[in-house]
Structure formats: structure tokens, C-alpha cells
């Protein structure tokens, strides 16, 4: 089956906010492919296989739905996956190539993650959700907030996003320290930060913000001992990926007062299921993985997904992902 002769349908997955069909011009596909958007999430292999079996094209929003070999092998009609972003560790690219499935990507608008991360830093330092709740309950001024200008921000991962967070912290008068496995003194100094050891990062930070990629090396990178080093006056902010932090250790640390609090946009399981332990932890701010979400980000992601599908149908080059992405 060649792209130019393909007839079938497009599945847009995990459109939680129900915006995909309106935010991009899918009419560019003409009558060659019909388009269906799914606002709910399927994680069970059997259920996901049943849902995707009729589709020749899938549009994936970031890494919300993984595509391991086992799933790809069950979808003989699937010929194209378009993911928003040019990096998606949840897709088995080697298996896709072997099965004749093209995987393409789109640009990302990264500034929204920076904005959300800084909003969570401000919210946890000032306990804005708690003050809002107490004000509505008739309690006036319940917090002695952390003054950022007197504080130290620790950044775990001084990459593209971490560098912008460092600049914002410096604008607020914070001392900024950073650590990652490959960070050098020179690279840290170039962004106004001090490179420290991992232990020092947690011991010295008033707020610790995570900005590293999830990989086999960083899964569980932040564990119970690190949280103990952060201490009862320290806050953890994670807008990167949930599994970087040992979630069981984090829940225990929050219930036990080991750390002062946490602000989280990412989790081991997404969406968070009912009754999840983090839903009842004290001193915790939760947001539903919206760090990368903005109207502009969706316009770019879904708009370029349409462009990739049209190019694929016409037998023209698409933005192909590869294993180094």
C-alpha cells in the first residue's frame, strides 16, 4: 500500500480538551482520509488495539500514548504516526521501521513549559492555592511565604528549559545552583549558575526544579535519600517527567513532613486515576501535565500534523523522526 493510494482514516489520540478538530484545518485532507478525535485515554493494550485497528494514520500528542513493538505489530493497517515534537521516547522507532510505518514529527513551542514551571515555583513559594482556599473559608493570612530573593534555586538539568528558568531566578535575585551528569563548570557559569554535586544540589536548595529528560539513566534519579537532603524546608517542582522521581518515596516524604511541599505537573500514570495517593498528599500542588500546553502550541502541533499527512499522501518528504531524536 503506497501513501498516494491509501484510503482510510486518521485517529487523533488523547485530545483531552477537545480542541484538535477546530484548532487546525483538517479540510486540507479533502476526502482522502476521514478524521476522528478521541478525548479519552486508552492504556490497556487490547482496548487500544481495538480502537486503532481501522486507522491508517495516528496523530499522537507528545508521549501520552506509548507505541511499543507489541502494539505496533497488532496494527497492520497503520502506515503513518505523526507525533507533536521531534522527540518521542514512547514510540519504538526501530519496530516502526521494520513494520513499514513512517513516524514523523512537528515543531514545539517550548516557552509554555518555562512559564508553567515558573508559575509552580511562585505558587509553592507563596502557597497560593492554600491561601486561596483559606481566604474562601474565612481565614485571613495563613502563610509566612518563602522570599525568593533570599533563597537558592537548584536546577536538575541545565538544558534549554533549565537555562531559561535560571535566568528568571536571577531576575528575582535568587542564588542558582545546578547539577546534571554531564554539566561542566564552564557551561554552568555561562548561564549564571554554580555547578555543584548532586548531594549539594539537594542540601543547598530551597526549591529544587527538575528539567532533565527521562531515560534509563534518569528514571528514579530522585529518591528517598535525595528528598531527605532537600529537607523539611525544601520544595520540589517537577515539570519534566514523573518517573524521574521515585513516586512512592515522594508520597511518603510529603506525608511525613520530610520536605516542605511539592508542585507537580507530571506523574508516573497519566491521567491520574481516581484514588491515586498523590491526590491526598498534604502541601502538594498538582496540575494535569499542561507544561507544554498553549493555544499556540496546539496550533503549531496539529497544523504541522496536517501538513505531514498531506505530504505523506502525496508521496512527498515528511519530518521523519530517527533514533537520535
From the list 51, 195, 289, 319, the catalytic residue is: 289
Residue 216 annotated as catalytic: no
Could you give the CA distance from residue 305 to residue 302 in angstroms, rounded to a whole number? Answer: 5
Sheet holding 102-105, edge to edge: 33-37, 8-12, 57-60, 80-83, 102-105
CB 269 within 8 A of CB 247: no
Find the catalytic residue in 42, 131, 270, 283.
270
316 tagged catalytic = no
Supply φ then ψ for residue 199, to 5 degrees. -60, -45
Q: Which residues contact 121 (CB under 8 A, 6 or more apart)?
A: 148, 153, 165, 207, 209, 237, 263
- Would residue 186 show up in a list of annotated catalytic residues for this protein? no
Q: Label each residue of 268-310 as H, E or C.
A: CCCCCCCCCHHHHCCCEEECCCCCCCCHHHHHHHHHHHHHHHH
Distance in angstroms between the alpha carbons of the first and the last residue of the chain = 27
Judged by DSSP in three states, 157 sits in: coil
Find the catalytic residue in 241, 247, 307, 319: 241
Pairing of strands 33-37, 235-238: unpaired
Provide the annotated active-site residues.
241, 270, 289
Amino acid at each position: 500500500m503506497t501513501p498516494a493510494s491509501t484510503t482510510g482514516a486518521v485517529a487523533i489520540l488523547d485530545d483531552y480538551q477537545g480542541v484538535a478538530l477546530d484548532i487546525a484545518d483538517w479540510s486540507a485532507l479533502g476526502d482522502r482520509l476521514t478524521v476522528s478525535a478521541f478525548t479519552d485515554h486508552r492504556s490497556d493494550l487490547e482496548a487500544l488495539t481495538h480502537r486503532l485497528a481501522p486507522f491508517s494514520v495516528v496523530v499522537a500528542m507528545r508521549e501520552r500514548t506509548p507505541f511499543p513493538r507489541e502494539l505496533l505489530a497488532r496494527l497492520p493497517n497503520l502506515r503513518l504516526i505523526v507525533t507533536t515534537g521531534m522527540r518521542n521516547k514512547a514510540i519504538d522507532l526501530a519496530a516502526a521501521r521494520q513494520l513499514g510505518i513512517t513516524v514523523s514529527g512537528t515543531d514545539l513551542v517550548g516557552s509554555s513549559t518555562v512559564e508553567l514551571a515558573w508559575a509552580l515555583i511562585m505558587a509553592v513559594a507563596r502557597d497560593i492555592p492554600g491561601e486561596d482556599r483559606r481566604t474562601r473559608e474565612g481565614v485571613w493570612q495563613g502563610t509566612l511565604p518563602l522570599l525568593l530573593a533570599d533563597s537558592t534555586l537548584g536546577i536538575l538539568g541545565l538544558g534549554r528549559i533549565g537555562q531559561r528558568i535560571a535566568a528568571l531566578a536571577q531576575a528575582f535575585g535568587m542564588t542558582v545552583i545546578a547539577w546534571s551528569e554531564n554539566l561542566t563548570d564552564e557551561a554552568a557559569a555561562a548561564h549564571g549558575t554554580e555547578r555543584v554535586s548532586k548531594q549539594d544540589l539537594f542540601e543547598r536548595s530551597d526549591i529544587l526544579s527538575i528539567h532533565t529528560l527521562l531515560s534509563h539513566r534518569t528514571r528514579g534519579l530522585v529518591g528517598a535519600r535525595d528528598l531527605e537532603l532537600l529537607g523539611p524546608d525544601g520544595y520540589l517542582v517537577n515539570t519534566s517527567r514523573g518517573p524521574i522521581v521515585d513516586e512512592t518515596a515522594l508520597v511518603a516524604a510529603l506525608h511525613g513532613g520530610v520536605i516542605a511541599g511539592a508542585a507537580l505537573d507530571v506523574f508516573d500514570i497519566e491521567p491520574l486515576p481516581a484514588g491515586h495517593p498523590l491526590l491526598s498528599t498534604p502541601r502538594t500542588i498538582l496540575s494535569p501535565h499542561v507544561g507544554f500546553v498553549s493555544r499556540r502550541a496546539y496550533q503549531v502541533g496539529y497544523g504541522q500534523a496536517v501538513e505531514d499527512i498531506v505530504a505523506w499522501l502525496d508521496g512527498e518528504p515528511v519530518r521523519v523522526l530517527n533514533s537520535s531524536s
